[in-house]
Amino acid sequence: MKFSSVFAAAAVTGVASADTTTSSEDLRTFSTIEPTASEIALQAENATTLQWSSDVKGKGFSRFFTIWLENTDYDKAADDPNMVELAKQGITLTNYWGVTHPSEPNYLASAGGDYFGLDSDNFSTMPKNVSSIADLLDSKGISWATYQEDMPYSGFQGFNYSNQKTFADDYVRKHHPLVLFDSVTGNSTRLGLLKNFTEFDNDLKAEKLPQYAFITPNMTNDGHDTSVKVAAQWSKDFITPLLSNDYFMNDTLVLLTFDENESYGIQNKVFSILLGGAIPDELKGTSDDTYYDHYSEISSVEAAFGLNHLGRNDVSANVFEVVANATNITNIKVDTTYKLNNESYQGYLNDANQVLLAPNVSATNLAGSSILPAISSVWASEYNAQVSESILTSTTTTVSGNITDVAPETTSSSSASASSSGSASGSASGSSTHSASSNSTGSGSSSSKAGAAVVSTSLVSAFLLLAANLLL
Ligand SMILES: *[C@@H]1O[C@H](CO)[C@@H](O)[C@H](O)[C@H]1NC(C)=O
Ligand SMILES: *[C@@H]1O[C@H](CO)[C@@H](O)[C@H](O)[C@H]1NC(C)=O
Ligand SMILES: *[C@@H]1O[C@H](CO)[C@@H](O)[C@H](O)[C@H]1NC(C)=O
Ligand SMILES: *[C@@H]1O[C@H](CO)[C@@H](O)[C@H](O)[C@H]1NC(C)=O
Ligand SMILES: *[C@@H]1O[C@H](CO)[C@@H](O)[C@H](O)[C@H]1NC(C)=O
Ligand SMILES: *[C@@H]1O[C@H](CO)[C@@H](O)[C@H](O)[C@H]1NC(C)=O
Ligand SMILES: *[C@@H]1O[C@H](CO)[C@@H](O)[C@H](O)[C@H]1NC(C)=O
Ligand SMILES: *[C@@H]1O[C@H](CO)[C@@H](O)[C@H](O)[C@H]1NC(C)=O
Ligand SMILES: *[C@@H]1O[C@H](CO)[C@@H](O)[C@H](O)[C@H]1NC(C)=O
Ligand SMILES: *[C@@H]1O[C@H](CO)[C@@H](O)[C@H](O)[C@H]1NC(C)=O
Ligand SMILES: *[C@@H]1O[C@H](CO)[C@@H](O)[C@H](O)[C@H]1NC(C)=O
Ligand SMILES: *[C@@H]1O[C@H](CO)[C@@H](O)[C@H](O)[C@H]1NC(C)=O
């Protein structure tokens, strides 16, 4: 799809695109939590750690653990000898994408199905009416946890915790998805499930691991402050003993991935490997070129366990083939020719004038499931209000055309508002040209009072783009 026709679609629906720049007074601000080391030591004494395991049978896998490394271009990671070794034991995903830059919005997206416009690593929180994968898992009693290396105690909500001898970066909040949600931190049970690597070792030894976990190594081991060489060595050392642990690997799928690539000017594709007992032996050492992105982590868990969805970009995100095959899901073919995923759209977290997008309460995910009823009951009327306003906004930024043709200062919002997919519509993984909307189909769109753009499903977009082209 041509860039110009995307703009035309926006023009046809008569909506303005977002401002090209965000002035500082428009930034949404949050108070930070930055306790001192001595305050942390005190709090640690009373911290509660919970061990939660369960045994719900899934289709394709019964346990999903993801391990995130940092900031590496696809080719660079693919060349690392330790990555090559690991790849021989699993399936390499050759078309797996980060959703924007920098780090934090990618982590946020993996748990919330959207990054809500976040374009920084700043302290931010999602209000308590925004749900996450934890709510989906809870709905069927599927145990979960996060394991964050060097987090000083379970449930820690501070901005960072450095190595107290060298003061090198260690644990950082921006790499911890579930702590970004008030719906998680406002619940003391959930705080007890945000744990560190000491607790991972304990849970493994006790055979009390959860069925879903998000694992973040410290800033040395994940490559952030070091290199992919360190990250790959750490990964091999961490994963190798697990691969021969029958308890851990039984029907388990492990996704080793990166939050984002390093070169912002190129496609935000990241090297990723699926490992574990859920991978059939004959597929070890093979690759899969299906389009996936961080939203696939949520959609795959939904499909495997037959869960409801979040009404966000998880709805249309492709599911990993082991699950797709086990559930007869047909993944979407995504044209990535003009896809970059390298800039955040203008939204709630980077602009105080933008409303919080409603999830699409009427969507059905690739597995045929509907939204979690508890989300619908909070958001249905706001969703309908946003749909009827039909104001264009967007989620994953996919700049059309050659990025070098567009000045960096101005690509952001013009391209974001014109060529992206909708949060309320949940159509992130689709083509690079979702935009514009109409209420007539009742499909997802959402609004922002600041007057940016509307979102909708690919079908609606495609229809409007067609209309736009006919009118021209
Ligand atoms: C820890 O809990 C004890 C007992 O409830 C209480 O007296 C103490 O003040 C708490 N410490 C902190 C740092 O909250
Ligand atoms: C991030 O936070 C810093 C300091 O609080 C602030 O100056 C900056 O404008 C923020 N950036 C964004 C994009 O919110
Ligand atoms: C990990 O968390 C536990 C539980 O709060 C705490 O006792 C322990 O000291 C932490 N470990 C590290 C290495 O910070
Ligand atoms: C957080 O990071 C800052 C800057 O690196 C550092 O000075 C501070 O000691 C860290 N806080 C803790 C609790 O480690
Ligand atoms: C990160 O963890 C490793 C052990 O896994 C440790 O050797 C290293 O010192 C830690 N990094 C920092 C900055 O403390
Ligand atoms: C608190 O979290 C637990 C575990 O995730 C969940 O079962 C419970 O329903 C939550 N409570 C509320 C009030 O959300
Ligand atoms: C794997 O889990 C299944 C049930 O999900 C159980 O029947 C089987 O014994 C387990 N195998 C191992 C090696 O733990
Ligand atoms: C899924 O099924 C297809 C078609 O039978 C097969 O080629 C592929 O290897 C399967 N993938 C997995 C991960 O089982
Ligand atoms: C998938 O489709 C095949 C053939 O149509 C059928 O035999 C199988 O039961 C289906 N599996 C599921 C999980 O629906
Ligand atoms: C969700 O919470 C935000 C922040 O508190 C609020 O502005 C918004 O109106 C709420 N929306 C719904 C549907 O509850
Ligand atoms: C993008 O534009 C640059 C500079 O005009 C050009 O060198 C490059 O070949 C173009 N790339 C593609 C894929 O069109
Ligand atoms: C928009 O669609 C929703 C959902 O189908 C409906 O409830 C609402 O009344 C419609 N609004 C308008 C203005 O047509």
Closest alpha carbon to 427 in 114, 129, 112, 133: 114
The encoded tokens of residue 117 equal 């416009």
Are the beta carbons of 71 and 261 closer than 8 angstroms? yes
Question: Is 170 a pocket residue for ligand 5 (Cβ < 6 Å)?
Answer: yes
pLDDT of residue 1: 32
The encoded tokens of residue 75 equal 């080719």
The CA dihedral of 242, 174, 159, 77, to the nearest 10 degrees, is 60
**For residue 281, what are the contacts with CB-CB under 8 A and spacing of at least 6?**
none
pLDDT of residue 25: 60
Angle value at C-alpha 177, between 172 and 178, nearest 5 degrees: 115
pLDDT of residue 387: 81
The amino acid sitting at 449 is K
pLDDT of residue 470: 37
Block means of pLDDT (10 residues each) for the chain, length 472 residues?
32 35 73 97 98 98 98 98 98 98 98 96 97 98 98 98 97 98 98 98 98 98 97 98 97 98 96 98 98 98 98 96 98 95 92 91 94 96 84 36 33 30 35 26 28 31 36 36
Compute CA 397 distance to the chain's CA centroid, rounded to the nearest angstrom. Answer: 14
Q: How far is the CA of 299 from the centre of ligand 9 (A)?
A: 19
Closest alpha carbon to 2 in 383, 315, 401: 401
pLDDT of residue 98: 98
- 439, 445, 454, 460: which to mutate for ligand 12, most atoms within 8 A of CB? 439
Radius of gyration from C-alpha coordinates of the chain: 21
Q: Tell me which residue has tokens 């799928």.
A: 253
Among protein residues, the one whose CA lies closest to atom 1 of ligand 9: 328
Taking the C-alpha atoms of residue 410 and residue 341, their distance in angstroms, rounded to an integer, is 16
Q: Which residues of 92-112 are buried (b: 16+ CB within 10 A; e: fewer)?
A: bbebbbbbbbbbbbbbbbbbb
Are the beta carbons of 411 and 346 closer than 8 angstroms? no
Among protein residues, the one whose CA lies closest to atom 13 of ligand 10: 379
Q: How far is the CA of 143 from the centre of ligand 8 (A)?
A: 28
Angle value at C-alpha 345, between 417 and 132, nearest 5 degrees: 130
Closest alpha carbon to 172 in 209, 240, 122: 122
The amino acid sitting at 291 is Y
Q: Give the pTM.
A: 0.83
Are the beta carbons of 426 and 314 closer than 8 angstroms? yes
Strand partners, 144: 212
Among protein residues, the one whose CA lies closest to atom 8 of ligand 3: 153
Q: How far is the CA of 135 from the centre of ligand 1 (A)?
A: 30
pLDDT of residue 132: 98
Question: Is 402 a pocket residue for ligand 11 (Cβ < 6 Å)?
Answer: yes
pLDDT of residue 179: 98
CATH class of 47-471: alpha beta
pLDDT of residue 415: 30
Would you please indicate which residues are annotated as catalytic (active-site) residues? 225
**DSSP at 209:** -
Compute CA 80 distance to the chain's CA centroid, rounded to the nearest angstrom. Answer: 25
Helix (H, G, I), strand (E, B) or coil at 287: strand
Closest alpha carbon to 319 in 365, 358, 362: 365
